[in-house]
Amino acid sequence: MTEIEAKCPNCTKRATVDENLTQVNCRVCGFTTSYEDYLEIMKSKAVQMADDLQMDWDKS
């Protein structure tokens, strides 16, 4: 069984994605979600990071 690594959105440690791309699990903090929900969570985090960077840029 091949596992794909992913970044846990809760603890930022290494999580795993199952070979069918259906579940994401973190053995460190116990985070678990569907792969689709994981993608939405990470997309939201990326957008937030971009917004924060833009706000910091606008302040300077």
| Domain coordinates in residue numbering, the chain | 4-59
Cβ-based neighbours of 19, under 8 Å, separated by 6 or more: 1, 2, 3, 4
Q: Is the pLDDT of residue 1 over 70?
A: no
- The distance from CA 4 to its chain's CA centroid, rounded to whole angstroms, is 13
Structure tokens at 17: 């994605």
Q: Cα–Cα–Cα angle for 35, 30, 25, nearest 5°?
A: 25
Mean pLDDT of 17-36: 96
Do 31 and 9 contact (CB within 8 A), yes or no? yes
Report residue 51's pLDDT band, with 50, 70 and 90 as the boundaries.
confident
